[in-house]
Structure 1
Amino acid sequence: MNDKLRWGILGTSKIARTWLIPAIQATSHSEVAALGSRSGEKARQEAEGFNINKYHNSYEALLEDPEIDVIYNPLPNHLHTQWSIEAIKAGKHILCEKPLGLDYGDAKRLVDTAAQYPEIKVMEAFMYRFHPQWQEVRQIIQSGKLGKVSSVYAVFSYFNNDPQNVRNMHTTGGGGLLDIGCYCVSVARYIFNEEPTEVFADIDVDLAFKVDRLALGALRFPSGRAQFRSSTQCHPSQRVVVAGEKGELVIPTPFYQEPGEPVALELVCNGNRDTVYLDSCNHYQAQVDAFAESIRTKRAVPTPLSDALANMQCLDALLRSHHTGAWVKLSSGE
C-alpha cells in the first residue's frame, strides 16, 4: 500500500462532489485516485474538475482497478448493499453512505459478506458522529450536570419536491425516514447508549411520489424516551434537545454542521443558562481521517457494523408500526 490511501468514488453524486471528494483531498493520508460512473462523460468532467488523474466508465472497472485501496459508495440507497458487497469481494475497503441497505435483511447481507473478509474495513458513513460536539455532549451527560437523562427530542427536515430527485423515488429507496429519519434514531441510541425496546411511528406518504414525506416517531428505551420528526417537505430544520432531572441541553446543529462555523451548545442547569462553545470542524474530513486511520493501523472502525444493523432494525420497526398502527417491540437480530 502507498503512503496515501487511494480512494475510488462510485458515481458522481452531489454528496461526493460537494463534501467527500474535497474532504478526502484535504487530508494528509488519503487521496482520490479515480472516479467510476456509468456515464464516462460525467466521470471525465468531474475528474477534470477535481484534478483527479483517472476515471472509469463503469463501476466494475473502478472496483477492478489495482491502484485503488478504498471505495466510497454514495450511490442511491437501493445500490448501497449490492456495490458495497462487490467492493468487498474485490478486496477494497468500503465507506458506504447511510443507510447500509434498504432494510435489515438487505444490510445483513452486506454485514455477513464483510464477516467473510475480516481484513477488509467496512463502515457506514454517519458523518455527524465524528463532530467533536458529540464527545462534548456525552461528557456533559456523564458529568451528571443534567441529572438522569429521561428524554431526547430530535428534528431533521428539508424541503424537496423535485420528482427527479432520488430521495423522492420509491424505486431507489427514497423517502425521509431512510434519508434523514435515520439520523434521529441514531442520535437517540447514541445519547441513551442503549437500544430501544419498542417503537411507534405515524408516517405521511406523498401519494404522487409513493415515499414518506413526514415521519413522527417515538422510541422507548430502558432508561428513557425519545421522540423525533423527520420530513422532506417541511422548512429546513435540525435540532436535538436532551432533558434530565437537573437540566436541559440543546444541540442547535446536531447533524449537519457547516465547515468553518463554530458550535454553540445551550446548557440550562438548575435555572442557570450557559453556552458551551466548540471550534469549527469539518465532520466529513474527520470521518475520512478516522476511517483511514483504522485501515492504516488495522484497528476496528470507529462505528461498527453492528451499530448500523441496530439502527436499521429500528427503522424497519418504525415502518411496521406505521402499517399496523401499533407499537412494535424490538429484539436483537430481528
Structure 2
Amino acid sequence: MTESGKVRWGVLSTAKIGREKVIPAMQRGERSHVAAIASRDAATARKVADALGIGTAYGSYEELLADPEIEAIYNPLPNHLHVPWSVRALEAGKHVLCEKPVALTADEAGQLVDASKRTGKLVFEAFMVRHHPQWREAREIVRSGRIGEARAVQTVFAYYLDDPGNVRNQADIGGGGLYDIGCYAIATARFLFGAEPERVVGTIDRDPRFGTDRMTTGIAEFPGNRHLGFVCATQLVPVQRVEVLGTKGRLTVEIPFNAPNDRPTRIVVDDGRDLHGTGAEAIEFPVADQYTLQGDAISAVIQGEASLEWGIEDAVLNMRVIDAFFRSSERNGWEQP
C-alpha cells in the first residue's frame, strides 16, 4: 500500500545488512517507504518480502529497476557490484543509496559521478554514522574549541571473522578490513576535521588463505599537523573506540560505529586534569537508529526538502584515501591521496 508523502524505495538484493538493519530501520522512518525488494531468486525475494512486510517482490534486479513506482534504490550488494548496479539504477531513473565502500577504487567511483550528472539522479554513500546525534555533537564540540585545538584522532575498529564463505573474506569481490571498516575511520576523521588528508602511510597484514587485508594500521596527515591514527582488523577481538585528542581536553565516542538502537549512547569529554577522569563529563543521547535517520535524511534530499550534505563527490574523496593506503602498503612509504 502506498504511503503518501514518503519516498518509495526498492532494495537491490536480500543481503543480511538490508534484512537485519537497514530495511527495518527505514520502515520506521517518517519519509521512507520500502515498497519492493529484488533477489535473483523469486522465492527468496518473496520469503524476505513477507517476513519484512514489503509489498512487492521481484525475481530479478532488472524487474525492480523497471518498476516505474520506485523512486530510489538501496544497494547492499557485494562491493564489486556497487558501481555496475548503481549505474544501472541511475540510468533507470532512480536515486541510489549505495553501501560503503561505494566502489573499489576512486577511478571506479568516478563512473558514478558521470552517471549522476548524465541522469540528473543522486547517489549517496551509506555512512550512517554521520547522521547519528553522537557524531553531530562530537563534531560541534571539536569545532567549538572546548577541547582546544583538535590535533589527533585515534580509531580502533575490529571484529573476528574467519569464515571463508563470507564476502568480507573474498579478495576478488572486494573483501578485507580496509574496505569494510577502515573506511569508517577515514570518513569520520574527515568529518571531524572538515578537511582532506594531504598524505598517508600504512601497513597491511594479509591473510595467507584469503588474500584479504586482515589488519591495517595507518596514519593520515591532515593540514595543520593534524593526524588520524587507526587500526582496523577482521581477525581480532571485537572492539570499537574513537578518541579525539586536543590541546585542552579529549573526547571519546564509546560505541562509534555500531551504535545500538535499543539503548542510549554517550560520548565523554574530559578536560584532562588527571588520568582518573575527574574532569570527565558524559553526554548521553536518547535512543536513536542511525539507519532510520540516514534513510529519512536522504529521502528529504530526494524530495527537495533538505540540502545535500554528502554527495557522490565526497565518496570519491574517501576512496582516494583508501587507494592511497593500499599504495602505501605496497610501496612502503607515504602516499598522497
Shorter-chain TM-score above 0.5? yes
Task: Give the TM-score of the pair, scaled to structure 2.
Answer: 0.95
**CA contact under 8 A between 2:297 and 2:306: conserved in structure 1?**
no
Q: Deviations over 1:154-198 (max 9, x none)?
A: 111111101000000012110000000000011111111111110
Larger CA deviation: 133-142 vs 241-250: 133-142
Q: CA RMSD in A?
A: 1.3
Counterparts of 1:29 and 1:150 in 2: how far apart (Å)? 38
Specify which of 286, 291, 297 is matched with residue 304 of structure 2.
297
Larger CA deviation: 297-306 vs 81-90: 297-306
1:298 Cα deviation (Å)?
5.8
**CA contact under 8 A between 2:112 and 2:312: conserved in structure 1?**
no
Counterparts of 1:311 and 1:274 in 2: how far apart (Å)? 32
- Provide the residue aligned with 1:160 in structure 2: 161
**CA contact under 8 A between 1:147 and 1:246: conserved in structure 2?**
yes
**CA contact under 8 A between 2:122 and 2:311: conserved in structure 1?**
no
Q: Deviations over 1:271-314 (max 9, x none)?
A: 12211112121000000000000011265433121211110000
Task: Give the TM-score of the pair, scaled to structure 1.
Answer: 0.96
Q: Is 2:255 aligned against 1:248?
A: no
Q: Is 2:200 aligned against 1:199?
A: yes
Following superposition of structure 1 onto structure 2, how do residues 126-165 of structure 1 map, counting pairs within 5 Å?
A: 126-165=127-166
**CA contact under 8 A between 1:265 and 1:276: conserved in structure 2?**
yes
Counterparts of 2:155 and 2:292 in 1: how far apart (Å)? 24
Partner SS state of residue 189, structure 2: helix
1:258 Cα deviation (Å)?
0.9
**CA contact under 8 A between 2:112 and 2:123: conserved in structure 1?**
no
Q: Deviations over 1:65-96 (max 9, x none)?
A: 11211100000000000000000000011101
- Provide the residue aligned with 1:91 in structure 2: 93
The code of the aligned residue for 1:289 comes to D
Counterparts of 1:144 and 1:3 in 2: how far apart (Å)? 40
- Provide the residue aligned with 2:29 in structure 1: 27
Following superposition of structure 1 onto structure 2, how do residues 178-327 of structure 1 map, counting pairs within 5 Å?
A: 178-223=179-224, 224-271=226-273, 272-297=279-304, 299-327=306-334
1:20 Cα deviation (Å)?
1.2
CA 51–270 in structure 1, closer or farther in 2 if over 3 Å, else same: closer
The code of the aligned residue for 2:267 comes to L
**CA contact under 8 A between 1:121 and 1:301: conserved in structure 2?**
no
Larger CA deviation: 166-175 vs 271-280: 271-280
Following superposition of structure 1 onto structure 2, how do residues 105-116 of structure 1 map, counting pairs within 5 Å?
A: 105-116=107-118
**CA contact under 8 A between 1:123 and 1:301: conserved in structure 2?**
no
Q: Deviations over 1:1-24 (max 9, x none)?
A: 953221110110110001111012
1:100 Cα deviation (Å)?
0.9
Specify which of 47, 50, 60 is matched with residue 48 of structure 1.
50
Counterparts of 1:264 and 1:106 in 2: how far apart (Å)? 37
The code of the aligned residue for 1:31 comes to H
**CA contact under 8 A between 1:8 and 1:62: conserved in structure 2?**
yes
Which ranges of structure 1 fall in alignment gaps of 5 or more residues? Answer: none
Counterparts of 2:111 and 2:124 in 1: how far apart (Å)? 14
- Provide the residue aligned with 2:276 in structure 1: none
Counterparts of 1:109 and 1:296 in 2: how far apart (Å)? 24
Please list every run of at least 4 consecutive aligned residues from structure 1 whose deviation after the TM superposition is greater than 6 angstroms.
none
The code of the aligned residue for 1:148 comes to E
Counterparts of 1:4 and 1:248 in 2: how far apart (Å)? 41
Q: Deviations over 1:253-275 (max 9, x none)?
A: 11110102212211111512211
